[in-house]
Amino acid sequence: MSEQLIIFDTTLRDGEQSPGASMTRDEKVRIAKALERMRVDVIEAGFPIASEGDFESVKAVANAIKDSTVCGLARALDKDIDRAGEALKGANSARIHTFIATSPIHMKMKLRMEPDAVVEQAVRAVKRARQFTDNVEFSPEDAGRSELDFLCRVLEAVIDAGATTVNIPDTVGYNLPHQFGSLIANLIERVPNSDKAVFSVHCHNDLGMAVANSLAAVAQGARQVECTINGLGERAGNAALEEIVMAVSTRQDVFDCNVDHLDRTQIVSCSRLVSSITGFTVQPNKAIVGANAFAHESGIHQDGVLKSRETYEIMRAEDVGWSANRMVLGKHSGRNAFRTRLQELGVSFAGEEELNAAFVRFKALADKKHEIFDDDLQALVTEASLDAENERVKLVALKVCSETGETPSALVTLKIDGAEKTATASGSGPVDAAFKAIESLVNSGAELQLYSVNNITSGTDSQGEVTVRLEQDGRIVNGQGADTDIVIASAKAYINTLNRVLVPVDRQHPQV
């Protein structure tokens, strides 16, 4: 039996660092549950010192997850580590991940610290983290541009201090696969106590090499890969979990480690969940989880696949969960069936009132659409995932008029901070008219950066899921809305995003 490759998912932490991808506490719990269903080994739930909201999210994930290890990020500072330790108190299995930069440019320009002081602070941080848990990970940030001798020195010192995982980040996505692979091989060979820790990698995708670099490292002995669903993450993103996992499982002839412990049939639903919550849609030609990843268009390919699947397919669509979007509920399903399925999907309700409100929305949807799938349920919950106190703007009514040869118009009634207001506007289409009417009432001044519509399931009775991205004073915010009527879905998405824009944020970025 080959060794297991540890899959460390950082969708909720590094993924959330993508501009506009911020998630609420409940959304994070839902994604964490989906990752747990996939049997991901480690879930990095956030950066607890960043804000009260981040702390609460890590705490909620730590309390909700039973089978995966839950990890919290901390700079190599006492206050960060103590906060992470506190947030992770309720976890069945907790890890603290602490880091400090080790590249000459980061030490000089960002930290303004001498190398000796960096080593000292790294050691101190690991020792402090060990007071909370014996599962401690250390990352030399920007390792991909650090000097080899210095990296060896830091790693030896932190392993001696008690780090059980040492993670090598290519923070700015600068490395090429052959370089990164040999960096890992060199480190494992030259660090005298390298056998006392698991070597991990964390690659960014600035040159499109994140997955290739991670796999090159695995081939050289790395036994943990840090990755995110759909490759979400800072700038061009992180290594995509689905690509790492499927590369290792499909090419067992090459890798001497395996991912057999993962339930790979959860991949597609997890990808959809992350995309629907963050509003970061998946391109159709994206490997594994793109809509076309298993579609055979050309006649020659179709003929080949029909004669023998292996002619053109190296994986089976069903192995990654393409047919797993089960029809779960319908018009006659009761409250219990509804609650149970949502619980299985990681959604719990604060009380009967919240359950009743969601059930009313479900019944309204079931009246319009006879078969309700898991993805419909997820969208139903995503749409309502704002905390009540943060929902300052509510859609009361919308009427649009769209007719050939006429200018489309919209009549919108909103409840803003409890007061009902109505406006009309015309536009180049019904969605444009509705957005103009809404903005005339809210006066946010936010600029529309992205508007996209996707069908949640197939068929013309499918719900349309709309993503809206707004920018206000440099801050980017995404929101979603779903409905079988795409104009209403669009208005809901716009209002959802405006509500997020209207909530002030005060949050630290871990790497500045």
Query: Interface with Zn ion by CB under 5 A: which residues?
Result: 14
SS3 track for 280-343: CCCCCCCCCCCCCCCCCCCHHHHHHHHHCHHHCCCCCHHHHCCCCCCEEEECCCCHHHHHHHHH
Site for ligand KIV in 472-511 (CB under 6 A): 510
**30 φ, ψ (degrees, to nearest 5):** -65, -40
Give the contacts of 286 (CB within 8 A, at least 6 positions apart): 230, 293
**Distance set, CA 6 to CA 82, 223, 265 (Å):** 26, 6, 18
**In the complex, least distance from residue 219 CB atom to ligand KIV, rounded to whole angstroms:** 21
**In the complex, least distance from residue 47 CB atom to ligand KIV, rounded to whole angstroms:** 9
Among candidate residues 438, 441, 501, the one with its CA nearest the CA of residue 471: 501
Amino acid at residue number 308: S
| Closer Cβ to ligand KIV, 164 or 325, answer by number | 164
| Closer Cβ to ligand KIV, 205 or 467, answer by number | 205
Binding pattern for the stretch 95-124 against ligand KIV, x by CB under 6 A and - elsewhere: ----x-------------------------
**In the complex, least distance from residue 234 CB atom to Zn ion, rounded to whole angstroms:** 6
Three-state DSSP state, 393:
strand
CA distance 512 to 499: 27
| Closer Cβ to ligand KIV, 165 or 249, answer by number | 165
Among candidate residues 103, 47, 88, 91, the one with its CA nearest the CA of residue 65: 91
| Closer Cβ to ligand KIV, 237 or 430, answer by number | 237
CA distance 278 to 272: 10
**In the complex, least distance from residue 187 CB atom to Zn ion, rounded to whole angstroms:** 18
CA distance 179 to 216: 9
Asked whether position 14 contacts ligand KIV by CB under 6 A, the answer is yes
Give the contacts of 501 (CB within 8 A, at least 6 positions apart): 444, 446, 470, 472, 475, 477
**In the complex, least distance from residue 233 CB atom to Zn ion, rounded to whole angstroms:** 6
Asked whether position 169 contacts ligand KIV by CB under 6 A, the answer is yes
Among 102, 103, 171, 249, binds ligand KIV (CB under 6 A): 171
| Closer Cβ to ligand KIV, 165 or 454, answer by number | 165
Residue carrying structure tokens 């069936």: 337
**In the complex, least distance from residue 202 CB atom to ligand KIV, rounded to whole angstroms:** 5
| Closer Cβ to ligand KIV, 155 or 410, answer by number | 155
| Closer Cβ to ligand KIV, 73 or 119, answer by number | 73
Asked whether position 174 contacts ligand KIV by CB under 6 A, the answer is no
Q: What does 141 bind: Zn ion, ligand KIV, none (CB cut-off 5 to 8 Å by kind)?
A: ligand KIV
SS3 track for 353-379: HHHHHHHHHHHHHHHHCCEEEHHHHHH
Three-state DSSP state, 494:
helix
Q: Is 160 exposed, middle or buried (0-12, 13-18, 19+ CB in 10 A)?
A: middle
CA distance 375 to 166: 37
| Residues near ligand KIV (CB under 6 A), total | 9
**In the complex, least distance from residue 307 CB atom to Zn ion, rounded to whole angstroms:** 45
Q: What is the CA radius of gyration of the chain?
A: 24
Asked whether position 15 contacts ligand KIV by CB under 6 A, the answer is no
Q: What does 59 bind: ligand KIV, Zn ion, none (CB cut-off 5 to 8 Å by kind)?
A: none
| Closer Cβ to ligand KIV, 237 or 481, answer by number | 237
Among 9, 27, 141, 374, binds ligand KIV (CB under 6 A): 141
| Closer Cβ to ligand KIV, 15 or 479, answer by number | 15
Q: Is 167 exposed, middle or buried (0-12, 13-18, 19+ CB in 10 A)?
A: buried
**In the complex, least distance from residue 169 CB atom to ligand KIV, rounded to whole angstroms:** 3
Among 103, 139, 228, 499, binds ligand KIV (CB under 6 A): 139
**In the complex, least distance from residue 92 CB atom to ligand KIV, rounded to whole angstroms:** 23
CA distance 61 to 42: 12
**In the complex, least distance from residue 166 CB atom to ligand KIV, rounded to whole angstroms:** 11
Q: What does 224 bind: ligand KIV, Zn ion, none (CB cut-off 5 to 8 Å by kind)?
A: none
Site for ligand KIV in 354-373 (CB under 6 A): none
Site for ligand KIV in 175-214 (CB under 6 A): 202, 204
| Closer Cβ to ligand KIV, 233 or 321, answer by number | 233
Q: What does 28 bind: ligand KIV, Zn ion, none (CB cut-off 5 to 8 Å by kind)?
A: none
Asked whether position 36 contacts ligand KIV by CB under 6 A, the answer is no
| Closer Cβ to ligand KIV, 74 or 410, answer by number | 74
Residue 227 in contact with residue 12, Cβ under 8 Å? no
Residues engaged in binding ligand KIV (CB under 6 A): 14, 99, 139, 141, 169, 171, 202, 204, 510
